[in-house]
Amino acid sequence: MPMLDLSPDELLTTTRAVRKRLDLSRPVELEVIRECLEIALQAPTGGNLQTWHFMVVTDAAKRAKLAEIYNRAFDEYRAMPHYAGKKFQDNAMRGRQQAKMADSAEYLAAHLHEIPVHVIPCMAGRTEGVQTVWAATMWASLYPAVWNFMLAARARGLGTSLTTVHLMFEKEAADVLGIPFDKISQGALIPTAYTKGTDFKAAKRQPLDDVLHINDWGSQ
C-alpha cells in the first residue's frame, strides 16, 4: 500500500482521533487492514504471551448492530457527570477543545454505521476482580498493539479513533460477533476509514512541566 511521506515524529504527533474527516464513501481493502494488523503484532506483550485477538467487522448488518449498541452507551455516557464534553468549563482553552471534541464525538456516533471497517482489539482473559498489577499487565499487553495499528493506519492514509463507550454493553457486542465473553475481553472499537486529506496537525496539550516529576513527585 502507498505510504504517506511522514517522519517518525510527524507520524507520532499527527495521529489524531479522526471522526469528521473520515471518507465514508471510499471502501477500505481488507489487505490494508491486514498490513496494519501485521504491524500491530510487533508490539510488546507481558512475558511475550501475545494474548491479543483482532476482530475486524466489515459486515454492514453487524456494523449497524454495533452502532446501535454504541449509541445507546453514548446516550448514557452523555448524561454522566464526568462526561468529557462538560469538563473544563472554567478553563477557556480546554473548554473550547472539549466542546470541539464533543461535537466530533457526536458526529462519530451518528455516522458509526456508515464507517466501512471497525476493528475490535481483544485479549484472552477477563480482569473483573483481578489484582491491579495483573490487570494492568493484561491491558498494557493490548494497547501498544492498538496504537501500532492506529499509527500504521495513519501512515497509509487511513483515519481511526480509539473508542471505548460500547464496552458498557460489551456482552451484547460479544453476542453480535460470536466472541466468547467469559474468556475474551474487548478492549476498544476502532472505526477505520480513509481520510479526506492527510494533513493532520499536532494537538495542543497541557505543558509538559505541569505533568513532569523528576525524582520526587513534588519537584518542578
Ligand X SMILES: Cc1cc2nc3c(=O)[nH]c(=O)nc-3n(C[C@H](O)[C@H](O)[C@H](O)COP(=O)(O)O)c2cc1C
Distance CA 220, CA 207 (A): 12
The CB-of-48 to ligand X minimum distance in angstroms stands at 24
- Phi and psi angles of residue 121, each rounded to the nearest 5 degrees, phi first: -75, 135
Q: Which residue has the cell 473544563?
A: 88
SS3 (DSSP) at 25: coil
Which is nearer to ligand X, 139 or 181 (by Cβ)? 139
Residue the block writes with cell 457526536: 106
Q: Report in angstroms how near the CB of residue 208 gets to ligand X at its nearest.
A: 16
Instruction: Name the β-bridge partners of 191.
Output: 118
H or E segment to which residue 117 belongs = strand 117-124
CB of 216 to ligand X, least distance (A): 28
Residue of the chain from 4, 124, 162, 168 that contacts ligand X (CB under 6 A): 162
Number of residues that bind ligand X (CB under 6 A): 11
List residues bridging with 99 in a β-sheet.
none
| Cα–Cα distance for residue pair 220/211, rounded to 1 Å | 9
113 binds ligand X, rule: CB under 6 A: no
CB nearer to ligand X: give 38 or 76. Answer: 76
Stretch that binds ligand X, among 24-32, 60-68, 158-166, 176-184 (CB under 6 A): 158-166
Q: Rounded to the nearest whole angstrom, what is the least distance from the CB of residue 154 to ligand X in the complex?
A: 11
Q: Which of residues 189-218 bind ligand X (CB under 6 A)?
A: 203
Contacting residue, 148, 160, 161, 195, with ligand X by CB under 6 A? 161
Q: Site map for ligand X, 70-109, x if CB under 6 A?
A: -------------------------------x---x--x-
CB nearer ligand X, residue 142 or residue 165: 165
Beta-carbon contacts of 189 under 8 Å, excluding residues fewer than 6 positions away, are 66, 70, 118, 119, 120, 163, 164, 166, 173
The binder of ligand X chosen from 163, 185, 186, 195 (CB under 6 A)? 163
Nearest distance in Å: CB 181, ligand X: 19
DSSP secondary structure letters along 74-112: HHHHHTSTT-GGG--TT-HHHHHHHHHHHHHHHHHHHHG
Summarize as ranges the residues that interact with ligand X (CB under 6 A): 16-17, 101, 105, 108, 161-165, 203
